[in-house]
């Protein structure tokens, strides 16, 4: 969670951990509309990756709408790689990309 100096919410993200799993899921992730475009999303994502790593997870996975350019740009630029195309994933019929990022190594590990 990110807040400003007055304690107002600027953004949040939630991670889902599963006992015994090396994979963490980024379940929700949002920056307040008035706080977007200034790097907060990237900084929050890096913090969430660190939290997953600290819990012993090697992979961070997420699903994102294929029409969500802002999020896709952020995730791609942060090293997430699309793994699965999921048609009709959302209620309105929009497809999703499942994306994943290896937390333990460089770009060569992310290809696997
Ligand atoms: C996606 C979201 C979290 C990005 O947060 P943000 O604070 O604006 O992101 P940043 O300022 O850190 O920018 C991160 C990258 O995304 C890119 N980006 C941000 N807004 C963009 C837009 N509208 N279109 C294209 N790219 C965009 C930036 O250019 C930046 O890439 P760069 O570092 O290569 O230049 C924010 O737009 C949001 O909360 N959207 C609504 C909720 C949502 O879609 N959550 C994701 C669900 S999977």
Report the CATH number at residue 24: 3.40.630.30
Q: What is the mean pLDDT of each run of 10 residues along the chain (112 residues)?
A: 93 96 96 97 97 94 98 98 97 98 68 48
Residue whose CA is at the smallest distance from ligand 1 atom 5: 41
CA dist., res. 78 & res. 46, Å (int): 8
Q: Ligand 1 pocket: which of 36, 70, 80, 90 to mutate (most atoms <8 Å of CB)?
A: 70
Domain coverage including residue 61: 2-110
Nearest to 77 by CA among 27, 23, 36, 41: 41
Atom of ligand 1 nearest to the CA of 62: 48
Burial (0-12, 13-18, 19+ Cβ within 10 Å), 41: buried
Domains of the chain: total: 1
d(CA 5, CA 44): 17
Q: Can you give the pLDDT at residue 112?
A: 46
């Amino acid at each position: 969670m990110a807040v400003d100096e007055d304690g107002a919410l600027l953004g949040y993200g939630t991670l889902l951990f599963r006992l015994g799993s090396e994979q963490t899921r980024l379940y929700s992730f949002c920056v307040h509309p008035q706080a977007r475009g200034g790097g907060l999303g990237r900084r929050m994502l890096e913090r969430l990756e660190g939290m997953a790593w600290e819990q012993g997870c090697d992979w961070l996975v997420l699903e994102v709408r294929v029409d969500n350019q802002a999020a896709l740009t952020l995730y791609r630029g942060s090293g997430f790689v699309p793994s699965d195309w999921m048609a009709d994933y959302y209620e309105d019929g929009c497809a999703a990309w499942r994306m994943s990022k290896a937390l333990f190594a460089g770009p060569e590990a992310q290809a696997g």
